[in-house]
Structure 1
Amino acid sequence: MTIAMRADVHAIDAGLVEGGRLDLNSRKFVGQARGLVLACGAAMTRVLAAHRPGDDPYGREICLGCGIPDCRTLRGVDHVLAAYSVRPVVVDRAEAWRRADACLRPGGRPVPLAVEEFSAGFVARPVEIAAGDTYLLVVDRYTGALSRWPLMPFETLVGEYERYRAGG
């Protein structure tokens, strides 16, 4: 998904038109591939937001969505990803900044951002909190998902986010 988001749609279109080396079906596929990847990635993110591995109160691994140790959904996703040799990409600081910047641009104007890293992701906020700004943005390191959180100290937010990820 990260690579698809960073892909330049105009460059892809220009390459398809100027290149002329691909057959019609291949040109259609390449032209639609970015949208397909983004749609499938977004759908997968939603599935994995509901079905994610974690521990029960006794430390046994379970699906936090189903509450059972052997979730068919997680197993199926794992098999499909393994069959296509897909490995998750961890979001880095630059990608976290890019996602936060795209989300936090009021009226399309850039806003200087502070991005702080913690084990499960990144906390992004405008450098200058304006009147009416009541939230921080968290970018999940493993899914790239964005979530809004009320203004609170960094360490408090980290603890709250880690409890949220654990299903608590």
Structure 2
Amino acid sequence: MSANPLLEGRSPQQMAIGVISDAEAYREAALLVEPKEEPLFVKASLVAPAWHLLCHSTELAMKAFLLSHGADPGSRPGGLLHHSLRHNLVALYERAQEKGLTTSSKFEEILAELSPFHEAHIFRYRRQGYISLPTPHIIAEALEPVIANIKGVVRQRWMESQGPR
């Protein structure tokens, strides 16, 4: 029996389907929290939650891509829940690149900026002070084609895992 009942009885490719759907939902939620049409200074207190949603969306997208390639979903060394990967956006992205993921240089730059904050849970457990990062809508726009690409890969890899019909 697995230590995590959520992982039982499902292939990594099957798990990837739900994970990429969640990635898309978190990206969309960030846009509801911090809409492009509303200036940042109107609801500045919602910027950190929007950044958190976008970071989590990015984390889930990378994990969906890796799951679709058969990654271990568990917490053993090398697994997606192991402390060396769990919330490390750069490490997840590098692992995904090794499996063939390509993105824009703009996305790579944004990812590098966000990763230390996400890994340290800065957006979840806010510290006092000013943080200079791209606005949530800029991040969401850079993330949208990445999620769309990964969604296609996830579907294709799942279909391949099912064998001929």
Give the alignment's TM-score, normalised by structure 2.
0.28
Q: State the structure with bigger RCO (CA 8 A, min sep 6), 1 or 2.
A: 2
Q: Is the helix fraction higher in 1 or 2?
A: 2
